[in-house]
Amino acid sequence: MRGQLDGHRVAFLAADGVEQDELVEPRRAVEAAGGSTELLSIALGEIQAYRGDVDAEDRFPVDLLVGRADLDSYDGLILPGGALGPDRLRTDDHAVAFVRHAMHIGKPVAAIGHGPWLLIEAGAVSGRTLTSWPSLRTDIVNAGGTYVNEKVVVDRNLVTSRGTADLHSFCTALVGKFTQQPEAVGWR
């Protein structure tokens, strides 16, 4: 993967409660492929990561508020999971608008675990096939998407995965997708 993402800048959108490995491993994959990463959130300072939504792990410095971020300055967007972080993000208008706009313009987006909650809140899953943490199946179907229980699913500009057990497949797929040019198709 070395060099595949040279010159690419990738945004990670996360909040307190993010699943540690679902933030750390994709960041490592992007950086190992030569890309740079920036952590966006809904509050400045640091976000607290967890393992399994209950065990506090590391804290990560926030680079920029999502409400001040310019989507055009990123080559891709990653939405890590954990039940707590995405639940906080989906109630923030700036976070939802950022995700909605990324999907609308066909920017490469990758979401794992509970990360697709943001896609649902942004109205961006209708007509899409995706996977997620199993408890989101009904939410995806009710939002007009097709849920499949697979390690990783690629649907146009969107890469989704079930969770930490599938991180290797997720990271490989997102690096591959992020090397491609953004698609000129919206989600509507």
pLDDT of 185 strictly over 50? no
Can you give the pLDDT at residue 187? 40
Of 92, 105, 110, nearest to 177 by C-alpha is: 110
Q: Count CB neighbours of 129 within 10 A.
A: 17
The confidence band for 181, taking pLDDT boundaries of 50, 70 and 90, is low
Higher pLDDT, 185 or 78: 78
Q: Give the whole-angstrom CA distance, residue 36 versus residue 131.
A: 26
Of the residues 8, 101, 114, 168, only one is catalytic, namely 114
Q: Give the whole-angstrom CA distance, residue 6 versus residue 13.
A: 21
Categorise residue 36: left if φ over 0, alpha if ψ from -120 to 50, beta otherwise.
beta
Please say if 114 is a catalytic residue.
yes
Can you give the pLDDT at residue 188? 39
pLDDT of 84 strictly over 50? yes
What is the chain's mean pLDDT, rounded? 94
Can you give the pLDDT at residue 182? 56
Backbone angles phi, psi at 31, to 5 degrees: -70, -35
* The two three-digit tokens of residue 14, written as one number: 């996360």
What amino acid is encoded at 22 in this protein? E
pLDDT of 183 strictly over 80? no
DSSP for residue 49:
E
pLDDT tens-digit series, residues 89-98:
999 999 999 9
pLDDT of 71 strictly over 70? yes
pLDDT of 2 strictly over 80? no
pLDDT of 155 strictly over 50? yes
What is each CA distance from 142 to 93, 97, 186, in whole angstroms? 21, 20, 20
Q: Give the whole-angstrom CA distance, residue 56 versus residue 23.
A: 14
pLDDT tens-digit series, residues 28-53:
999 999 999 999 999 999 999 999 99
Q: Give the whole-angstrom CA distance, residue 143 versus residue 106.
A: 19
Q: Give the whole-angstrom CA distance, residue 140 versus residue 36.
A: 31
